[in-house]
């Protein structure tokens, strides 16, 4: 089930961060600070009491900055990243964001493919963005006002019906 991140989720999210992002993972303090900062929206996917994926953004005026999205390695390929991104886009629109921005490692092909499916385009290369590894990142954006950006991957018209119609919160009927 997709739902909002809550304070009791912190320990599990710290573990998930380390599993997904390795040396570049946010520390407990960084994660706690991020989750408690103003204008943040964080969602997760949980099954049988285990958090399998999470992501969130920071909304500032017209922009929503995707801060992180991560899926447990053994849960990849099941559509959880796509489901999270769809819901995060819907939430950003609900908060009147006109554009969503992100940075992604240049060597993260699965994430790049996901973002392209949702209509994100490269803006620029950010050299040595990810530390401590010194990996470059692409800055990407998508115009949330575009009718082509529905919170669903590009070319997946009708997927809304398969994923569950979204309610006015943009979270879908499985959101509680």
* Predicted structure pTM score: 0.83
In a domain, 162, yes or no: no
Confidence of residue 153 (pLDDT cuts 50, 70, 90): low
pLDDT digits (tens, 9 = 90+) for 35-67: 999 999 999 999 999 999 999 999 998 999 999
In a domain, 168, yes or no: no
Whole-angstrom Cα Rg for the chain: 15
In a domain, 74, yes or no: yes
Tell me the CATH number at 104. Answer: 3.40.630.30
User: pLDDT averaged over the chain?
Assistant: 87
Cβ 140 vs Cβ 134: under 8 Å: no
In a domain, 108, yes or no: yes
The pLDDT of residue 24 is: 85
In a domain, 79, yes or no: yes
For 151, which DSSP code?
S
In a domain, 32, yes or no: yes
Confidence of residue 155 (pLDDT cuts 50, 70, 90): very low
In a domain, 85, yes or no: yes
Confidence of residue 171 (pLDDT cuts 50, 70, 90): very low
The pLDDT of residue 132 is: 82
Q: How many domains does the chain have?
A: 1
Is 2's pLDDT higher than 90? Answer: yes
User: Domain limits at 145?
Assistant: 2-155
In a domain, 71, yes or no: yes
> Checking DSSP bridges between strand 50-60 and strand 2-4, what pairing results, if any?
unpaired
């Amino acid at each position: 089930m997709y739902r909002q991140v809550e304070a009791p989720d912190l320990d599990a999210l710290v573990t998930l961060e380390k599993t997904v992002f390795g040396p570049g993972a946010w520390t407990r303090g960084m994660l706690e600070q991020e989750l408690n900062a103003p204008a943040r929206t964080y969602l997760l996917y949980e099954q049988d009491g285990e958090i399998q994926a999470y992501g969130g953004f920071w909304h500032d005026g017209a922009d929503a900055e995707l801060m992180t999205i991560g899926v447990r390695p053994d849960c990849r390929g099941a559509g959880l990243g796509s489901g999270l991104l769809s819901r995060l886009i819907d939430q950003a629109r609900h908060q009147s964001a006109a554009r969503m921005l992100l940075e992604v490692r240049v060597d993260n092909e699965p994430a790049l493919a996901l973002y392209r499916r949702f209509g994100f385009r490269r803006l620029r290369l950010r050299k040595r963005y990810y530390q401590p590894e010194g990996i470059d990142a692409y800055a990407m954006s998508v115009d949330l006002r575009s009718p082509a950006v529905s919170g669903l991957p590009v070319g997946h018209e009708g997927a809304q019906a398969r994923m569950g119609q979204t309610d006015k919160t943009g979270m879908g009927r499985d959101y509680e």
